[in-house]
């Protein structure tokens, strides 16, 4: 367990950025759900946009995937895709709860 915690010590900024983006995506999804009312598709837009940003960033760095300089782009891709998936799942839960 100490080895795992030792690995995370240098990367806490990336984890905090990921948490902030996920929380922001959840808040935006919830706000759009309240504002849109009967329009059901609009609550899925933040998640789809974040997934698109993540996949686009991943495709731009795919040729230099294992280079040291491409780590920030990979972080953006991972955070974008993961926060987009969380936002989509939250939108699905909101859709189930409103019905």
CA atoms within 13 A on the CB side of 89: 7
pLDDT at residue 31, rounded to an integer: 94
30 CB contacts (<8 Å, ≥6 apart)?
90, 94
What global pTM score does this model have?
0.85
- Give residue 13's region: left, alpha or beta (phi > 0; psi -120 to 50): alpha
pLDDT at residue 1, rounded to an integer: 67
28 confidence band (pLDDT: 50, 70, 90): very high
> How far is it, in rounded angstroms, from Cα 74 to Cα 99?
38
- Whether 79 contacts 21, CB under 8 Å: yes
Q: pLDDT (tens digit, 9 = 90+) per residue, 34-91?
A: 998 888 889 999 999 999 999 999 999 988 888 888 888 999 999 999 999 999 999 9
**Among 54, 52, 48, CA closest to 29:** 48
């Amino acid at each position: 367990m100490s080895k795992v915690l030792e690995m995370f010590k240098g990367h806490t900024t990336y984890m905090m950025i990921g948490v902030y983006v996920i929380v922001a995506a959840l808040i935006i999804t919830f706000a759009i759900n309240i504002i849109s009312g009967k329009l059901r598709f609009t609550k899925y837009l933040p998640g789809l946009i974040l997934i698109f940003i993540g996949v686009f960033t991943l495709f731009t760095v795919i040729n230099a995937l294992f280079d040291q300089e491409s780590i920030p782009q990979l972080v953006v891709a991972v955070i974008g895709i993961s926060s987009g998936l969380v936002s989509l799942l939250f939108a699905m839960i909101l859709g189930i709860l409103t019905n």
